[in-house]
Structures are given as C-alpha cells and as structure tokens.
Amino acid sequence: MSKLVPPHGSPELKPLLLAGDALAAELQKAQGLKKVPMTTRETSDLIMMGIGAFTPLDGFMGRDDWKGCCDDYRIPSRKGLFWPIPITLSAQQDVADSISKGEEVALWDLETEAIMGTMKVTEKYGIDKDCECKQVFRTTDPAHPGVQKVMEQGPVNLAGTVKVLSESYYPEMFAGIYQRPVEARQVFEERGWSTVAALQLRNPMHGSHAYLAWVAIEVCDGVYIHQLVGKLKPGDIPAETRVKAIDALVNKYFRKDRVVQGGYPMEMRYAGPREALLHSVFRQNYGCSHLIVGRDHAGVGDYYGPFDAQKIFNEIPADALVLRPLCMDWTFYCYECGSMASMKTCPHESKAVIDENGAYQGGARLLLSGTLLRKLMSEGKPVPSEFSKPEVIAVLKEYYDSLEQKVEVKLHGFATGEAKK
C-alpha cells in the first residue's frame, strides 16, 4: 500500500497513452482520419493526459466542463470534481465544419508534423474568449502570453475522449529528466517517502530556490525539483541549461537521498494563481503532498499581486485538493542575519548594495536584479556567491556566451550582405 497521496479524483492514475499492438493498430487507423491541427499548448496538454498527469481527464472538455471550470473550478461531467483551468482543443471554422459528431479524427501536431493521438468528436462549440481570459488570466490584455494563445486559437472547440499515441520528442530530448507520474511515484516509494514537496522551476535555480528546497526538506521527507521542459516565452532560459545548473547545485549542496529531479512537458500559460492550482492538481498526480508556492508563482509581468497565487488556496473549497501549498515569503540572503532569510524572518530592511564590479558595499538584503546579474556575467565579473553558487553561474555564463557568439555571427553576416550591394 502506497504511503503517497492518491491521484486527483481517482484511486489510480489514468494514463491515456497506448502501447504495443494497440498503439500500432491505432496509428494505422489514424492515417485514414481527418487531421485536426493542434497548437503547442494543446499538444502539451494531450501529452499530459497521455502520461496520466491530468488524471482523471479522459479527453478535451465539452462546453459544460469548460464553463464549470471557468466559473467555479468544477467539471460537471465528473460529479463536480475540482479543476482550475479548462483543457480544451480548438479548431478553425472550416476544419470544424468538415467534421461530423461521432467522427474520429487524428490529432496533428503542427510543430513536429506528427500524429499525436485520435479523438472521437462528441461536441463542437463556440466559446466567449473574453470570458475565459477574464476568469483564467484575470485580464484580456493581448500582450499577456497566455491570453494571446487563447485569442489566436480557432473559434470552435472540439470535445471528446482521446487516445494518445506519442510523447513527441520529450523522452529522447530530455532523457534522464523527463518523468511520467508513475515513475516519480515509484522513485518516491522506493525511498519510503510519504510527504514530498514539489518545487516548480522554469528559471535557473538560484540561492533563493535552493533555500526553498532546503526548508521543504526540513518539513517533508524529500523535495521533487520539477522542471518545466515544455514551451516557454521567448527570452527564457532553455531547459537543457536549467537542468545543467540544477545538477551543478544539487551535486554539491544537497543530500542526494532527499532530492529527486524530474521534468514535465506542459506549456506555461502564465496564469498566476489559477496556474498554481493546475500545478497542484498534476503534482498530486505525480505523488507530491505539497507544492512550494513562492512569490509570483507562474506569473508574468505585473498582472498578479506577488502573493495572489498563495491567497487563492484559501478561496477554493477545502476538499478541492489533497495536496497542500507550502507558502513561502520573498526570500533572499541577508548580510545582517548572515544567512538566507525571508520577509517573514528578517528584521533588516535596508537593501544590500552590490557595485558594478560585483563587490558588496554594505546594507542587508541582497536582491540582485536579473539585469545586474547579466551585466556582471557578460563582463566576467564575480557574482556574489550569496546570490548564486559559482557552479550555477559557470553554467549560465557558458549559455550566455554561446548566445552572444550566435548574435555576433548573425550581425556579421548581415553587414557583409549590406557591403555587397
């Protein structure tokens, strides 16, 4: 009997990925079906269903579930089960018109041009996109990357149960880090853990993240450093680099028997508080009893208050989730405390001053900005080890140096072209 939390709304995981003969037969059949193109977000959601991370969903949502989800976090088709963000499939009008109810279609990934699954279409419906965005993202501003995706998607939603036929490039490209819920649970069980805190990461792991992980280990059996390997917005640091940086940190500064690393294929929606809830649902499926929710979890820009993603856990029904949030205040290194600290513990309000050579000039709290960090690294100056361990900085520097070389090559090529005119 497992000591881990049960999957969401189900005694067991419900992966929808086919294997062996069933997979071969379905792939064969899919060749003859009409293709429905999917956006990258839709493909990533399909894979999440495939691996059981979205247990107990069995397909893309119909209108009632879409509305229930948006209005009050409930899906009527599953006796009002808690679900925080609609999982839907969109189609262009002509594609939707060409499909009749009850028809089976092939789900086609535009990016890799591959058949990812099949779906029996049971419903076609239009949605009020403004309404969805207001509820899920708390904004209809098209500059918000999650809103932009919804606004750009086709006008008709298609619903039905799915069979998943591929995990795309994730298992190969992120070998050793990509993990299915059943695999994570197995690792936790082998270690005899019952309480596991998930640390969501989509940025490099700096000192503050490490502190959150250590605090979580103090109160749980272990920490699951769970990286997003799905799509991010342009300018974010790619997963390979983040994985390397975490390895560098964990290898030297953590007890290996208290840490597990994994990656998941979902695309970021940047929905802040609502996304923190979705992160909770699938972390519970991964076997985690807690989710570390820090400052501005899953947010972007200034669309959300810094602690909105913590407050929302008090606004949802008590029985919504088994998983509990581990709410943490803004964390930093404090030169007065002489240790990592948070707004909750540290009484020293002055900011530490780091000059442009990376040298400490006085003050208490070290809140190093990304811009200064980038400047110090590009000029080969030292980054205070209180902010980020040198092993992590070395990995990031290598990445930024490679980017600069690429930019230089591009500019050079352009200039040569101009000269030939």
* Residues that bind Zn ion in the complex, under the rule CB under 5 A: 334, 336-337, 346, 348
Give catalytic status of residue 285 as yes or no.
no
CB of 136 to Zn ion, least distance (A): 38
Give catalytic status of residue 203 as yes or no.
yes
Choose between 193 and 333: whose C-beta lies nearer to Zn ion. Answer: 333
Choose between 350 and 405: whose C-beta lies nearer to Zn ion. Answer: 350
CB of 85 to Zn ion, least distance (A): 38
CB of 403 to Zn ion, least distance (A): 35
In the set 41, 185, 202, 283, the catalytic residue is 202
CB of 371 to Zn ion, least distance (A): 24
Choose between 54 and 387: whose C-beta lies nearer to Zn ion. Answer: 387
CB 57 within 8 A of CB 49: yes
In the set 63, 78, 203, 324, the catalytic residue is 203
Distance, CA of 373 to CA of 386 (rounded, Å)? 12
Distance, CA of 371 to CA of 368 (rounded, Å)? 8
Choose between 334 and 392: whose C-beta lies nearer to Zn ion. Answer: 334
Q: Name residues whose C-beta falls within 8 Å of residue 197's C-beta, 6 or more positions apart in sequence.
A: 216, 217, 219, 220, 222, 223, 224, 288, 289, 290, 291, 292, 326
Choose between 347 and 370: whose C-beta lies nearer to Zn ion. Answer: 347
Choose between 339 and 378: whose C-beta lies nearer to Zn ion. Answer: 339
CB of 363 to Zn ion, least distance (A): 10
Going 57 to 63 to 65 to 71, the CA torsion angle's sign is positive
Distance, CA of 259 to CA of 191 (rounded, Å)? 10
CB of 360 to Zn ion, least distance (A): 14
Give the residue numbers annotated as catalytic, written as ranges.
202-203
